[in-house]
Amino acid sequence: MTPQIALVDCNNFYVSCERVFRPDLKNVPVVVLSNNDGCVVSRSNEAKDLGVKMGQPWFECKALAETHGILALSSNYALYADLSNRVMSILGDYSPRHEVYSIDECFVDLTGTPKLRDVSYAMRERVIAWTGIPVCVGIGPTKTLAKLANHIAKKHPRSKGVFNYNDLTQAQQDKLLNQIEVGEVWGVGRRISARLAEHGIHTVQHLRIAHAATLRAEFGVVLEKTQRELQGMACIDLQEVVPDKQHIVSSRSFGHTVRDLAVLKDAMSTFVANACAKLRAQGSHASLIQVFLRTNRFRNDLPQYNPSFTLPLPQPTNDSLVVNRWADYLVGRLFKPGYDYKKAGIMLGEIRPVGQYQADWLEPTQATDTRLMDALDGLNRRFGRGTVKVSTQGAHQGWQMRQERKSPSYTTDWGAIPVI
């Protein structure tokens, strides 16, 4: 039986989330900006048609925005995460085997599903009806071909949002893949595309029929697996269970440069709280922390200073209070007056499941009491992140990122619920 792997991808996801509660934005060119309203990270089709590029700095678009009335919005991550969870919950009803690949993409194994095309259209229509988010469905025998089929479903109106690569004959497959640039293949970026062009590989079909041994010798085993996937041989399985993270990083660029040690420590407390919450959520603890500070590398007119310090902990922990004490100490050690700091963060390393660690002969084992952190996590889950926090967190707001164009958190904040 031929595998039927579907990739369901939300169209212009961040913009689509904004339009759910702003129907007046339909047919209006809209872009969503990155942290601190820096670059374009999502575009409506109308904005794409006007020439706005993905990743383009917003200041470069302002003249175009004034001429054509492009609306720019700050990223509203709480809204996007909530709507993503709703979409993924719906998709999970169609198959017990599915993989949430990103905030707006999900692989669904539909192998053996009768009337597959009808089910695919029904899945698409249910997501739109229940969440307001438009999606496209691409189906293929492998994950790579499913991604490619989804690209076709988006680009060709005749597909009506669903395209099944398995329905094509061999001749139709060859013709189609000859028309698609190799850069559209999952995992093939600009650099690899340029190198492939040097070997005469310009289209997906060229990559599909390239000499496998030469491909592996020049580009490694990863691209060879991609080629096999394009040939219909599955080399990348669905990840139904997300593996625990081996490193957890929490960092952010500041909305304004910071010169005050107290403000840096306040920001670091927030980063520690977020990182430790993720650590506890996967039932792990960390034995190593790294704290780093960064100045603005794009400001050549300012002095640069980018220190970091890695510290092995005496005993592995996921306690926010313990990690915060060490992080607070390291920030004080790294800080030097006279610099404009633009970013800071913490990385947790040597992560293991709780209960698994190598004891230290020179350091006595300390009893671990998880009740305080359990209570903190429970209250923050119930009433919202940041409801309960350590005393060093939240006293200063000067480092918070700029979100001057942010929409309300319609689905995650009682005070922002739309009033009719």
CATH architecture label of 8-164: 2-Layer Sandwich (3.30)
Angle at CA 249, nearest 5°, toward 248 and 252? 155
> In this structure, are residues 114 and 151 in contact, taking their beta carbons and an 8 Å threshold?
no
Query: Where do the CATH 3.30.1490.100 domains begin and end in the chain?
Result: 248-383
CATH architecture label of 168-242: Orthogonal Bundle (1.10)
CATH superfamily, region 248-383: DNA polymerase, Y-family, little finger domain (3.30.1490.100)
Tokens in use for 231? 């040939």
pLDDT recorded at residue 243: 77
Least confident of 132-141, 170-179, 403-412: 403-412
CA pair distance 10, 7, nearest whole angstrom: 10
Burial class (CB in 10 A: 0-12, 13-18, 19+), 224: middle
pLDDT(228) > 90? yes
Query: Where do the CATH 3.30.70.270 domains begin and end in the chain?
Result: 8-164
Tokens in use for 168? 């094509």
Confidence band for 390, pLDDT divided at 50, 70 and 90: confident
pLDDT(398) > 80? no
In tens, the pLDDT along 46-71 reads 999 999 999 999 989 989 999 999 99
Looking at 296-382, which runs of residues are DSSP E strands? 308-317, 341-353
pLDDT(367) > 70? no
130-150: average pLDDT:
96
pLDDT recorded at residue 359: 65
Least confident of 137-141, 171-175, 298-302, 304-308: 298-302
Tokens in use for 232? 């219909």
pLDDT(147) > 70? yes
Rounded to the nearest integer, the mean pLDDT of the chain is 90
In tens, the pLDDT along 83-125 reads 999 999 999 999 989 999 999 999 999 999 999 999 999 999 9
Q: In what order do the strands lie in the sheet with 5-10?
A: 98-102, 105-109, 5-10, 135-140, 162-164
pLDDT recorded at residue 365: 66
67-79: average pLDDT:
92
Query: Where do the CATH 1.10.150.20 domains begin and end in the chain?
Result: 168-242
Comparing C-alpha atoms, which of 390, 378, 104 is closest to residue 268? Answer: 390
pLDDT(362) > 90? no
pLDDT(368) > 80? no
CA pair distance 75, 407, nearest whole angstrom: 8
Whole-model pTM: value is 0.82
Confidence band for 388, pLDDT divided at 50, 70 and 90: confident
pLDDT(361) > 80? no
Highest mean pLDDT pick, 200-214, 227-241, 401-415:
200-214
pLDDT recorded at residue 201: 93
Express as a percent the part of the chain with pLDDT over 70.
Answer: 96
pLDDT recorded at residue 393: 76
> How far out from the chain centre does Cα 318 lie?
24
Confidence band for 364, pLDDT divided at 50, 70 and 90: low
342-368: average pLDDT:
80
CA pair distance 133, 319, nearest whole angstrom: 38
Comparing C-alpha atoms, which of 260, 248, 223, 251 is closest to residue 396? Answer: 260
DSSP 187-224: T--HHHHHHHHHTT--BHHHHHHS-HHHHHHHH-HHHH
pLDDT recorded at residue 38: 86
pLDDT(366) > 80? no
In tens, the pLDDT along 9-54 reads 999 999 999 999 999 999 999 999 988 888 999 999 999 999 999 9
127-138: average pLDDT:
96
